[in-house]
Amino acid sequence: MKIIKYLIWLLYPVFFIALFASLLTTKPYMRFSEGLYASHENITFDYDYVTGKLIDYLNYRSDDLHFGANPEDDTPILRHETRIENGEEVLISEIEHMKDVRTVYTQVRIAGLVSLGLVIMFSGFLWKKDRKLLSETYRDIYLFPLFFILFVGGWFIVDFHHAFTIFHEIFFEGNWQFSVNDTLILLLPQMFWFVSGVIILFLLGITIGTTMLLSRYYLSKTIDTEEVGS
C-alpha cells in the first residue's frame, strides 16, 4: 500500500498549485498588482475595466475578447493581425492567446479537482485499512513538494526568462510573443509572472508545512490514542 502514500504525496500539492494559480484570475489579485510593475506606467487604457474583462473571460463569465480600452470604446484593444514574415503569413493575436490561456487554466483546474478527489479517496482507504500508514503519509508529505519548491524556485531565481520561455513552448503553439506595447505585455510583464510564481510556491510551502504539523500533532496522536484504547 506504499504506492498509495506516494500517490498522495504527488497529488496533494497538485490541487493546491491549481487552487493558488486560480487566484491569479481574480479581480482582488489584479487590483493588488496594479502599479507594481514598470510597464504599468505606460498604460493609457482603463486598467480596472480591461483586467475585469479578461478575468471574466478566464472564469467563463463572458466570451467577449473584442472589448475596447474603456466602456465607451468599441475598438478592440487586444491585437489580432496577420503579418508576412519570411514570405509566410503569421498570425499575431492576443485574442487567440487568451483563448489558449483559458484552455490551459481549465485543464489546470480539472487536474486540481481530480487530484483532490483522488487524495480524498486514497486517504479514506488508508483510514479504513492502515491508519498508521495514513499518519506517516501526511507526516512526511513535505518530501515531494519540498523538492518541487526548491527545484522550481531555484530555476526561477537563476534563469526565470528561460523557464518562462520553456513553459510557453510546452503549453502554447507559437502565438504568445508580443510587442512591449501590446495590452497583455503592459498588464502582465514577465516580472508579474515571476512574482506570481513566487507567491504560489510560498503559499504551497505554507500549506504543506501546516498539513505536516497538523498531522504530527493531531492525526498521529488521535491514531495512537485509538490504538492504545483498542
Q: Per-residue pLDDT for 200 more than 80?
A: yes
Q: Provide the residue type at 185 as one letter.
A: I
Domain residues of the chain, as ranges? 2-229
pLDDT level of residue 87 (50, 70, 90 thresholds)? confident
Tell me the three cell numbers of residue 15: 490541487
Please state the three-class secondary structure of the chain as a single string.
Answer: CHHHHHHHHHHHHHHHHHHHHHHHHCHHHHHHHCCCCHHHHHCCCCHHHHHHHHHHHHCCCCCCCCCCCCCCCCCCCCCEEEEEECCEEEEEEHHHHHHHHHHHHHHHHHHHHHHHHHHHHHHHHHHHHCHHHHHHHHHCCCHHHHHHHHHHHHHHHHHHHHHHHHHHHHHCCCCCCCCCCCHHHHHCCHHHHHHHHHHHHHHHHHHHHHHHHHHHHHHHHHHHHHHHHC
φ/ψ of 168, rounded to 5, equals -70, -35
CB 32 within 8 A of CB 196: no
Tell me, what's the pLDDT at 144? 83
Q: Per-residue pLDDT for 222 more than 80?
A: no
Mean pLDDT of 29-49: 95
Query: Which tens digit of pLDDT belongs to each residue from 5-25?
Result: 899 999 999 999 999 999 999
Least confident of 59-63, 83-87, 147-151: 83-87
Q: Which of 5, 8, 12, 10 is nearest to 207 (CA)?
A: 12
Could you tell me what percent of the chain has a pLDDT over 70?
94
Tell me, what's the pLDDT at 151? 84
pTM value surpassing 0.75: yes
Q: Per-residue pLDDT for 227 more than 90?
A: no
Q: Per-residue pLDDT for 229 more than 50?
A: no
Mean pLDDT of 182-186: 95
Mean pLDDT of 164-191: 87
Query: Which tens digit of pLDDT belongs to each residue from 20-38?
Result: 999 999 999 999 999 999 9
